[in-house]
């Protein structure tokens, strides 16, 4: 039976593996984490509303009933397209040196996703964490909660002001959702917790380089999101480019904003894996794929999700879960067609809409003919996200958390974990 | 108003702070974590049944309605009893150097708890993690899950055997509960997840130095616990002393047991804080307290919980939550008496009983006249633990998790987090 290797257990890879369930193939899914992450809700882990277990499920568990899939916890380092092998970093019994451990494939579906890009400033990464993995989210949660703790102990008012200033760089859905959630933490969840500071006096800035937040949304919804954020007390600044991130805070144009916490929700760059293929990449490192999602000149390799660069109707497809899911499943179906000797089909994205949450009872939704904001949009968001969550257990847990949080304004998971107490200690 | 400083936000410290709610005092509670941990359920985080947020609540949140309490996230380093100050390690804005940051007290309640003790072999600590903090539990979970992943990728059968061997050192309640939960993970939760190994073939050894597991329980219950563990497939070895822990496994007497995973549930040692007091300590570093819980010669300092060494009816009090809670509250009431100029009262422990869970539907309970094991004991355990959990939100969340786990045999929180993929990488 042909061996299909899928690299990546995100939305693209998981949907590729599932679409191969009844195909006469052996499937190996490789991921460096043992969990599939429901990325659209990751900001809720970072802002202490949900537990890691609520937004992540073990990949093995998700695919346990699909006997033709083997899940391999490993870090794919490089593709050797000539010998058709995926080379892995040293495994559990390795000595840390680069080994030549690898797995052979007949067909390869690459869905290894994206990491953050810091506008050519990789040195900002340690200062301004982004939000891609569970560990990222726990680090953001840690930094946000520690900032309030440090402010409570600070006696100098300027230093206290800096500790209570939170800068979010990037006004896309993740940035908007983070800013809204931080505003609610400060104004509501922590209100009674401190004695020396007033958490509600925290300053939350959302900095967007383009002319609008939620730039991909219709104009009316962009404006409504901007207003809703402002009502929550978020300072929204558009056409504002960050020129420097340092230990003191950020520089925007000539202005310095002193801030302890800087969170990154701006650019992304594709995983470095496609670089080893020697095929044309776009500026963000993504593979410029054929319409069939195959790689030019390598009909046995397909790409899906954030590492795939594809235009549709003259516009690039966005890096969202829906695109990755549809591409993963499409790549898998094209693998089946190739095995059968049939002609491959071109991929066409069906856009079911976009949404972003601004706060409790407030969202914007752009779904087909429906363009709405406020409470109704928020209800739609809740139901769709619950529906999309992988694993019915997670659905109930998340519903329970949300119901409790809505009624009490509390965020239950306000835990500071990690060994170091303060950054300096 | 007199200033009462409480060091430690565990069962002892929290109950001390609560008992001072209506007293005419200012209270400062110092802890190096921002959360109170419900330690009796920590093994369920380590074995992927519960999320960290289910067994921990922010201390600020627990005490938010008590306006006379200030919570301070800081690491208490030393007591200067002469000047009545608690010295803290450098704070959030420190430069990492030991500072002379400190807080003055009129009365001090020390409840800083215990850490693991490795029978004079501190070098075993990195090899055999114990179970005291949330970070400990996440590390145990990580090691256990990674062992199965590594075994799945191992081709040498002896190496695979070693990866699937789990040694638990210490047959008290924590060791028994860990062993039972690991057996259930291997035999039930992971059964369908792997393709190259049979998780149910994992070998789980519980090593106890004394003649019985659950040595503090009545003889009948000890025997029933031993039998129940054996039925779950745990190899229980009593009168077995570990003489060495190394990278390959453990040595017991002259026998080598090759094991990737070694978990520590044996000795504890008191936090080092009391050493700075210059008062008599017992072998485990605990303060030999007066019957009033005051420290000899220092009537303004009280101790509670695992750092307090006290005999009652000729036997030392055990290091359990019930003792800590009662001592914390008693110490607080004696502080109030001291302020009023009244005579201090001696502490007397009321033993409400002991319990340990062996697995799904199986426990032993020794509660007053009631000595029972099996399903009924397990139901009692569930209800009492739900009742004792701090915060009603946690209660519902934990009940939901348990109901789901009971019905499906699944453990939802099987997440491997932490930056390194394999120990060697």
- Per-residue model confidence (pLDDT) at position B100: 64
> What's the average model confidence in pLDDT over B99-128?
90
Compare CB distances from B415 to A34, A146, A154 and report the shortest one's residue.
A34
- Per-residue model confidence (pLDDT) at position A243: 94
Strand A234-237: give its sheet, edge to edge. Answer: A234-237, A203-207, A165-169, A261-264
With the CA atoms of B288, B289, B291 and B297 taken in that order, what torsion angle do they form, in degrees rounded to the nearest 10?
120
- Per-residue model confidence (pLDDT) at position A393: 67
Tell me: do B33 and B94 sit in the same domain.
yes
Report whether pLDDT(B95) > 70.
Answer: no
The strand pairing partners of A301, in sequence order, are: A108
B302, B110 contact by CB (below 8 A): yes
Report whether pLDDT(A420) > 70.
Answer: no
Q: Can you list the alpha helix ranges (DSSP code H) found in B41-113?
A: 42-46, 52-55, 59-62
> What residues of B are in contact with residue A416 (Cβ under 8 Å)?
33-35, 73
Report whether pLDDT(A231) > 80.
Answer: yes
- Per-residue model confidence (pLDDT) at position A166: 98
Report whether pLDDT(B191) > 90.
Answer: no
Cα–Cα distance for residue pair A92/A388, rounded to 1 Å: 33
Averaged pLDDT score across all residues of chain B: 90
Q: What is the pLDDT of residues B281-294, one digit of tens each?
A: 998 899 999 999 99
> How far is the alpha carbon of B103 from chain A, nearest alpha carbon, in Å?
12
Cα–Cα distance for residue pair B34/B332, rounded to 1 Å: 22
Cα–Cα distance for residue pair A68/A83, rounded to 1 Å: 23
Q: Which of B28, B75, B92 to mutate to test the interface with A (most CBs of A within 10 A)?
A: B92
Report whether pLDDT(A93) > 60.
Answer: no
Tell me: do A250 and A304 sit in the same domain.
no
Query: What six digits make up the tokens of B60?
Result: 């600020």
Q: What is the pLDDT of residues A30-48, one digit of tens each?
A: 999 999 999 999 999 999 9
> What residues of B are in contact with residue A415 (Cβ under 8 Å)?
34-35, 52-53, 56, 58, 134
Residue A185's domain spans which residues? Answer: 122-266
Tell me: do A182 and A245 sit in the same domain.
yes
Tell me: do A236 and A331 sit in the same domain.
no
Cα–Cα distance for residue pair B356/B180, rounded to 1 Å: 10
Chain B residue with Cα closest to A36: B415
Q: Cβ contact (<8 Å) for A52 and B51?
A: yes
Q: Which of A26, A412, A419 to mutate to test the interface with B (most CBs of B within 10 A)?
A: A412
- Per-residue model confidence (pLDDT) at position A161: 96
Q: Side-chain half-sphere of B127: how many Cα atoms within 13 Å? A: 18
* Range from A269-278, A280-289, A407-416, B162-171 carrying the lowest mean pLDDT: A407-416
Among residues B266, B292, B322, which one ends one of the domains?
B266
pTM of the model: 0.90
Q: What is the pLDDT of residues A135-164, one digit of tens each?
A: 999 999 999 999 999 999 999 999 999 999
Among residues B266, B296, B324, which one ends one of the domains?
B266
Tell me: do B112 and B173 sit in the same domain.
no
Chain A residue with Cα closest to B94: A424
Percentage with pLDDT > 90 across chain A: 71
Report whether pLDDT(A55) > 70.
Answer: yes
Q: The CATH number of the domain where A78 resides is what?
A: 3.50.50.60
In a domain, B406, yes or no: no
Task: Give A382's pLDDT tier (boundaries 50, 70, 90).
Answer: confident
> What residues of B are in contact with residue A76 (Cβ under 8 Å)?
none
Burial class (CB in 10 A: 0-12, 13-18, 19+), A298: middle
C-alpha distances in Å from residue A352, one per residue of A43, A369, A384, A389, A395: 22, 10, 11, 16, 21
Phi, psi of B413, rounded to the nearest 5 degrees: -95, 45
Tell me the ipTM for this assembly: 0.88
Tell me: do B281 and B310 sit in the same domain.
yes
Tell me: do A136 and A191 sit in the same domain.
yes
Q: Cβ contact (<8 Å) for A92 and B396?
A: no
Tell me: do A159 and A244 sit in the same domain.
yes
Among residues A266, A298, A329, which one ends one of the domains?
A266
- Per-residue model confidence (pLDDT) at position A115: 87
In a domain, A59, yes or no: no
> What residues of B are in contact with residue A53 (Cβ under 8 Å)?
51, 412-413, 415
Catalytic residue positions of A, numbered = 177
Q: What is the pLDDT of residues A356-367, one digit of tens each?
A: 999 888 999 998
Q: What is the pLDDT of residues B360-397, one digit of tens each?
A: 889 999 988 889 999 999 998 888 888 877 766 677 77
Tell me: do A136 and A248 sit in the same domain.
yes
Chain B residue with Cα closest to A151: B92
Report whether pLDDT(A339) > 50.
Answer: yes
Cα–Cα distance for residue pair A252/A244, rounded to 1 Å: 7
Count of structural domains, chain A: 2
Q: How many CB atoms lie within 10 A of CB A288?
A: 16
Chain A residue with Cα closest to B74: A421
Cα–Cα distance for residue pair B335/B21, rounded to 1 Å: 12
> What residues of B are in contact with residue A138 (Cβ under 8 Å)?
417
Compare CB distances from B425 to A90, A134, A417 and report the shortest one's residue.
A90
Tell me: do A262 and A132 sit in the same domain.
yes
């Amino acid at each position: 039976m042909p061996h299909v290797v899928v690299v990546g257990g995100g939305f693209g890879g998981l949907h590729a593996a599932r679409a191969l369930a009844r195909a006469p193939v052996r499937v190996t899914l490789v991921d460096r984490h043992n969990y599939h992450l429901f990325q659209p809700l990751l900001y809720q882990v970072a802002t202490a509303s949900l537990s890691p277990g609520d937004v992540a499920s073990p990949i093995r568990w998700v695919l346990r009933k699909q006997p033709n899939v083997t899940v391999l916890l490993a870090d794919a380092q490089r593709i050797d397209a000539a010998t058709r092998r995926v080379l892995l970093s040293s495994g559990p019994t390795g000595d840390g040196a680069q080994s030549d451990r690898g797995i052979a494939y007949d067909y390869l579906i690459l869905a290894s996703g994206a990491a953050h890009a810091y506008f050519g400033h990789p040195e900002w990464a340690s200062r301004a964490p982004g939000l891609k993995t569970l560990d990222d989210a726990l680090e953001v949660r840690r930094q946000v909660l520690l900032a309030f703790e440090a402010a409570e102990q600070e006696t100098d008012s300027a230093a206290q002001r800096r500790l209570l200033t939170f800068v979010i760089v990037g006004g896309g859905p993740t940035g908007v959702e983070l800013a809204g959630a931080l505003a609610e933490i400060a104004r509501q969840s922590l209100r009674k917790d401190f004695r020396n500071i007033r958490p509600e006096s925290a300053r939350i800035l959302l900095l967007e380089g383009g002319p609008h937040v939620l730039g991909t949304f219709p104009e009316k919804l962009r404006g409504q999101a901007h207003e809703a954020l402002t009502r929550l007390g978020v300072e929204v600044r558009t056409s504002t480019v960050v020129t420097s991130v340092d230990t003191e805070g950020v520089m925007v144009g000539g202005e310095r904003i002193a801030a302890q916490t800087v969170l990154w929700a701006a650019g992304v760059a594709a995983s470095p894996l496609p670089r080893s293929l020697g095929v044309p990449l776009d500026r963000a490192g993504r593979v410029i794929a054929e319409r069939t999602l195959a790689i030019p000149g390598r009909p046995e390799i397909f790409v899906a999700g954030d590492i795939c660069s594809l235009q549709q109707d003259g516009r690039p497809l966005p890096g969202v879960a829906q695109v990755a899911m549809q591409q993963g499943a499409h790549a898998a179906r094209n693998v089946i067609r190739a095995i059968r000797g049939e002609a491959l089909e071109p991929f066409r994205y069906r856009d079911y809409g976009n949404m972003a949450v601004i706060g409790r009872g407030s969202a914007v939704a752009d779904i087909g003919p429906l363009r709405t904001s406020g409470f109704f949009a928020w209800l739609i968001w809740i139901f769709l996200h619950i529906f999309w969550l992988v694993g019915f257990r997670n659905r109930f847990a998340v519903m329970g958390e949300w119901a409790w949080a809505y009624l009490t304004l509390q965020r239950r998971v306000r835990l500071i974990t990690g060994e170091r107490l303060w950054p300096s200690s």
